[in-house]
């Protein structure tokens, strides 16, 4: 069975392809969602790229954990990365259409920061 982060990474990449294809159907329209610099369009672009970015981070985590010889559990870091992978695009897409959702960005941001900190501190990456 593949690690949850390996699965989350590849799922993010597939969802990034699909989100880009769906939005790509309308990108040629200058005024789509209020124009290129509008809030909704920027949030959709951010949501689309977050699928790829956090997907790659999950892949990097899966490959890193396979290489380190830490005696400490990194399961919290693993699940926090998955929380970030799910909640970042959700916050972006929800914020695109209802601005108050922008106040929830602390959830994916703190999840990802905590995951990275746990990996560095508990993963045997420091000398």
- The pLDDT of residue 55: 98
Contact 32, 61 (CB under 8 A): no
- The pLDDT of residue 25: 87
**What residues does each domain of the chain span?**
4-122
- The pLDDT of residue 99: 94
**Close Cβ partners of 57 (under 8 Å, ≥ 6 residues apart):** 9, 81, 84, 85, 112
Residue 91: exposure state from Cβ atoms within 10 A (0-12, 13-18, ≥19): buried
CA 67/CA 85 separation, integer angstroms: 22
pTM: 0.90
Mean pLDDT in order along the chain per 10 residues (127 residues): 88 97 86 86 95 97 86 88 98 96 97 96 81
């Amino acid at each position: 069975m593949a690690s949850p982060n390996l699965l989350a990474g590849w799922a993010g990449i597939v969802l990034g392809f699909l989100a880009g294809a769906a939005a790509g159907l309308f990108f040629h329209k200058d005024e789509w969602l209020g124009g290129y610099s509008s809030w909704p369009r920027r949030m959709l672009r951010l949501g689309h790229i977050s699928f790829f970015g956090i997907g790659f981070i999950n892949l990097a985590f899966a490959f890193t954990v396979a290489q380190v010889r830490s005696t400490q559990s990194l399961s919290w870091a693993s699940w926090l990365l998955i929380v970030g992978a799910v909640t970042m695009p959700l916050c972006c897409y929800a914020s695109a259409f209802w601005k108050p959702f922008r106040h929830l960005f602390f959830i994916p941001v703190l999840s990802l920061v905590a995951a990275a900190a746990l990996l560095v501190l508990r993963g045997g990456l420091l000398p």
